Structure 1
Amino acid sequence: MSSATTRNIKDANQKAATKLYPTRNDIPEGEREKVVAVMNARLAELIDLALVIKQAHWNLKGPQFIAVHEMLDGFRSGIDAHVDEVAERLVQLGGTALGTVQLVSQNTSLASYPADIHRIEDHLKALADHYAGVGATVRKSIDEVEGYGDADSSDLLTGVSRTLDSNLWFIEAHMQEGA
């Protein structure tokens, strides 16, 4: 049995969130701290999005089930790849990736995903809202980390933004009536 208390774990998580580890990366420490904070915020949202994609994937019901079910599998794989890239980037900068479910829950800016929906249309609307929310914060962060002197993190987030926009387009196309 672990002797760690909830308070000790929360205190350790707070210290991990703010402490930078030594690196020879030439971005000044103060700027790296800011980038790590931004990237951890985006990490929380991307993990949250990955989880809600699976929530929808498992619980879809309706006539287009198999098409949407398989589409969401591909979306999840793409988001998982970006989660890994974002987490690894902030660790490269000397930070700690904060990716536990508890920390994600504390740090995501996304609204809670409804657990009581099943119709494909309802899931697509909820997913579109989540994709739009993450897309907006990622786009804001592209310029923000560039301003901190980290063109590499900015470039990484640009790739994330393209994936989010592409997936949102597919979701919205499923929701729209033909011309």
Structure 2
Amino acid sequence: MTETFTNYLTDNAREASINHLNIALASSIQLQLAIKQAHWNIKGPGFIGIHQLLDEVYDRMSEHVDTIAERCVILGGTADGTLDGVKKNGKLDAYPRDAVHQDTHIDELKSRMVAFAGIVHESLKEVGELGDEETADLFTAVSRGVSKDAWFIGAHHTSATK
């Protein structure tokens, strides 16, 4: 571990939080890439609205990525956002290259966003139990934000009913 700025945490809590943060970092980068893949390739009657929404969601996801990485370094770890780190630590399924129709992209993004929110929700419980309330709060905010964006995206599904 490098220099830490959290001397009030035990080494065990710090190491566990760094591990959870690197998993969240890798998975959030996977999600970011999925959002851009959809943004570039989406087609359908709601194209422009969804295309613009995905830019906004991507920007919010970028903030989450940065916050997660910075917390990892604050705790004395190394934020591993490299391609190898994402491949090693990322927990999301690969995004389909052949997706085109907006409903396919919506389903694919929504499922990954919900899965990602679940990953960080589990992490918030575990790091909170170890006494790292600040990292737990970070995970709470990320989970809340990504869940809201999943709702925004999911509401564009063309087969939505009453």
TM-score bin, normalised by smaller chain:
over 0.9
Q: Is 2:55 the partner of 1:65?
A: no
**RMSD of aligned alpha carbons:** 1.1
Q: Deviations over 1:33-68 (max 9, x none)?
A: 111001100111111100110000000111111000
> Normalising by the residue count of structure 1, what TM-score does the alignment of the two structures yield?
0.86
2:156 partner SS? helix
Q: Is 2:22 the partner of 1:40?
A: yes
Contact 2:5 2:76 in 1 (8 A): no
Relative to structure 1, the CA distance from residue 24 to residue 54 in structure 2 (aligned partners, 3 Å threshold; closer, same or farther) is closer
Among candidates 123, 126, 143, match of residue 125 of structure 2 = 143
Distance in 1 (CA, whole Å) between partners of 2:114 and 2:4 is 35
Larger Rg computed on CA atoms: 1
Q: Which runs of 4+ in 1 moved over 6 A?
A: none
Distance in 2 (CA, whole Å) between partners of 1:100 and 1:24 is 23
Q: CA deviation at 1:113?
A: 0.5
Percent identity over the alignment?
39
Higher relative contact order (Cα pairs below 8 Å, separated by 6+ residues): 2
Q: Deviations over 1:59-100 (max 9, x none)?
A: 011111100000000000001001000100010000000001
Q: How do 1:96-115 and structure 2 match up within 5 A?
A: 96-115=78-97
Q: Is 2:144 the partner of 1:177?
A: no
How many residue pairs align between the two structures?
A: 160
